[in-house]
Amino acid sequence: MEAVSCLFPQGGLSKPLRGLYLEQELHKQAAVDDVLIYSNYIVSLDGRIALWDSSTDDFSVPKSIANARDWRLYQELAAQSDIMLTSARYFRQLAKGCAQDLLPVGKGKNHDDLHAWRKQQTLTAQPDVMIVSSSLDIPLESLAYVSDRKVWVMTTSHASAERKQSLQAMGVTILIGGESSVQGDVLKKHLIDLGYRSAYMIAGPQIHHMLLQAGVLNRLFLTTHLSLLGHDAFHTLLKGELKPIACELLSLYLDSQGQQMFAQYHIAHT
């Protein structure tokens, strides 16, 4: 893969795309008795992370901006995680056959180096999974795709007892994150109590909002594809009211071949 150009903090420096995010070693960044929580999105210049797809009756990443170069960095972020935070919606998409991909780290020769890296770092073969869901509308058959790792479901005390029992019968551990909705600070405490050090959030704008509102999201990795998409039915990075949160730019790279920019932000909670 061709190199990318650093725009910040060292303008003019050229670096290989492969390994660009892996060098962050996010699994080592959390303080003692803490966890680093980070998110990642690809977005168009007009702020679209997902468009409505009538063929699947759901929102999905626009095909015009999804690309292998960004996907490589997505996989590198996954490789550094102890656990991945996702939603019930992802498993519904998986059951319908319209999920973007299976949960990383991916299989095949393009990702062999990432598996070797995880082994070298004494990490498990795959990150564990935490599904955040108040409804527990999770197709049970879709859980077979993650049977090779620990699976937790973070839900509410008001969630359906019948659905909790069905999930537990599949070997899933149920955790309570709040009464009527999952709270970000409670989720983080569970992660710490379970011994996780790095958590990669790959869900949509509602869970992103929940983590930001609670002040527990530490970093945002944002790929901006240099295109305008329009469309009236779309998702952006957040959904819901939120007080302004300052984001400190840590790095910015220009990918001329992919016509996109890779940015990393520290979330400056006060």
Render pLDDT for 185-228 as a digit per residue (tens, 0 to 9). 999 999 999 999 999 999 999 999 999 999 999 999 999 999 99
CATH number of 3-268: 3.40.430.10
Give the whole-number percent of the chain exceeding pLDDT 90. Answer: 85
b/e sequence 95-123, b meaning 16+ C-beta within 10 Å: beeebeeebbbbeeeebeebbebbeeeeb
- Residues 97-123 have a mean pLDDT of 87
Rounded Cα distance between 186 and 182, Å, is 8
Domain layout of the chain by residue ranges? 3-268
pLDDT at 109: 86
Instruction: Match 């109590």 to its residue by tokens.
Output: 193
pLDDT at 210: 97
pLDDT at 267: 96
Tell whether the torsion through CA atoms of 68, 70, 74 and 75 is positive or negative: positive
- Residues 41-49 have a mean pLDDT of 97
Please write the tens of the pLDDT for every residue from 172-185.
999 999 999 999 99
Rounded Cα distance between 196 and 81, Å, is 9
Going by C-alpha positions, the residue among 152, 94, 147 that lies closest to residue 125 is 147
